[in-house]
């Protein structure tokens, strides 16, 4: 395994020289968001060459040994040993511009799809992730309705949480973690109509109940908001 890791690093280093010269453009130290709390032991022989753009827009080339993928607040993260820095580093997957897979010799221009489908790096989906995925369309609709009057009150945010707890039955949910994930939702009207078209009839009853709760949540019945909900209910019934 150690020999395989060394050969992988060597292959990535060869490409590194071919595409970028003898030195990475990452002249300064990495940003704080890329640092890991502790260095990781050299064990997994999964070596890649990355082209990476950090939060400040600096593009660098890295040879990394990927340990695992984790879900962060803003999306998946690669936890790696960086051979340039000789330290553990964290890379936001959505900022990886290109990945060279040394095991196959292939270059992948869609790193997110490549890593998330990699059989050795699959993310263990948490209950909170599964719950939000299950309720994604409902949450989009409820969020747009809640913000229809120009604000999204804490009581309306609570209704999102209640809806997820009502629908999800596969395991215990961490309320604080779930609340934090829900606070990041910012759907637009295009996603709203797409979600509305995907709601299944068997899920409509619970969504209708949550829609009514959302309207009542702030203690004020807004006639325009009520008409909006009635229009949504009619769409769910297939009458409009």
Q: pLDDT tens for residues 62-78?
A: 988 888 888 776 778 88
In the chain, how many domains are there? 2
pLDDT at 218: 67
Question: pLDDT-based confidence at 22, cuts 50/70/90?
Answer: very low
Q: Are 47 and 65 in contact (CB under 8 A)?
A: yes
DSSP 30: P
Asked whether residue 121 is assigned to any structural domain, the reply reads no
CA 162 to chain centre: 22
Average pLDDT, the chain: 79
Q: Is residue 87 a part of any domain in this protein? A: yes
CATH number assigned to the domain comprising residue 203: 1.10.3680
Domain limit, last residue, from 89, 116, 143 = 116
d(CA 6, CA 12): 10
pTM: 0.51
Q: How confident is the model at residue 188 (pLDDT cuts 50, 70, 90)?
A: confident
Burial class (CB in 10 A: 0-12, 13-18, 19+), 190: exposed
Residues 110 and 208 in one domain: no
Indicate if 133 and 233 belong to the same structural domain: yes
Same domain, yes or no: 68 and 147: no
**Beta-strand pair 47-53/59-72:** antiparallel
Place of tokens 């400040």: 56
| Cα distance between residue 26 and residue 54, in whole Å | 10
Would you say 64 and 82 are in contact if contact means Cβ atoms under 8 Å apart?
Answer: yes
> Would you say residue 193 has pLDDT above 80?
yes
Q: Which 8-state DSSP code applies to residue 114?
A: H
Final residue before a domain boundary, out of 67, 89, 116: 116
One domain for residues 85 and 157:
no
Is 220 domain-assigned? yes
pLDDT tens readout for residues 86-104? 888 989 988 999 999 877 8
Q: Which residue has the higher pLDDT, 21 or 55?
A: 55
Q: What percent of the chain has pLDDT over 70?
A: 76
Q: How far is the first Cα of the chain from the last one, in angstroms, to the nearest whole number? A: 61
pLDDT tens digits along 111-149: 988 888 887 776 666 888 889 888 989 999 998 888 877
CA 17/CA 23 separation, integer angstroms = 8
Place of tokens 């996603």: 191
Which range, of 33-37, 54-58, 116-120, 153-157, averages the lowest pLDDT?
Answer: 33-37
- Which of residues 90, 116, 142 is at a domain's end? 116
Radius of gyration of the chain (CA): 23
Say whether both 31 and 85 belong to one domain: yes
Residue 62's domain comprises: 2-116
């Amino acid at each position: 395994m150690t020999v395989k890791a060394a050969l992988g690093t060597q292959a990535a280093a060869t490409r590194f020289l071919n595409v970028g010269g003898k030195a990475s453009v990452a002249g300064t130290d990495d940003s704080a968001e890329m640092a890991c709390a502790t260095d990781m032991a050299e064990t997994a022989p999964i070596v890649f060459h990355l082209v990476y753009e950090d939060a400040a827009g600096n593009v660098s080339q890295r040879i990394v040994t990927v340990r695992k993928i984790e879900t962060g607040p803003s999306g998946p993260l690669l936890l790696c040993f960086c051979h340039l820095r000789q330290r553990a580093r964290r890379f936001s997957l959505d900022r990886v511009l290109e990945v060279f897979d040394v095991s196959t010799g292939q270059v992948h221009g869609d790193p997110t799809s490549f890593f998330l489908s990699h059989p050795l790096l699959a993310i263990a989906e948490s209950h909170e992730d599964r719950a939000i995925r299950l309720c994604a369309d409902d949450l989009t609709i409820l969020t747009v309705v809640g913000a229809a009057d120009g604000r999204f009150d804490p009581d309306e945010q609570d209704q999102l949480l209640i809806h997820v707890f009502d629908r999800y039955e596969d395991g215990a949910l961490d309320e604080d973690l779930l609340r934090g994930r829900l606070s990041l939702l910012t759907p637009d009207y295009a996603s709203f109509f797409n979600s509305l078209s995907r709601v299944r009839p068997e899920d409509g009853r619970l969504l209708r109940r949550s829609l009514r709760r959302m309207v009542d949540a702030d203690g004020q019945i807004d006639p325009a908001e009520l008409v909006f909900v009635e229009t949504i209910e009619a769409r769910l019934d297939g009458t409009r």
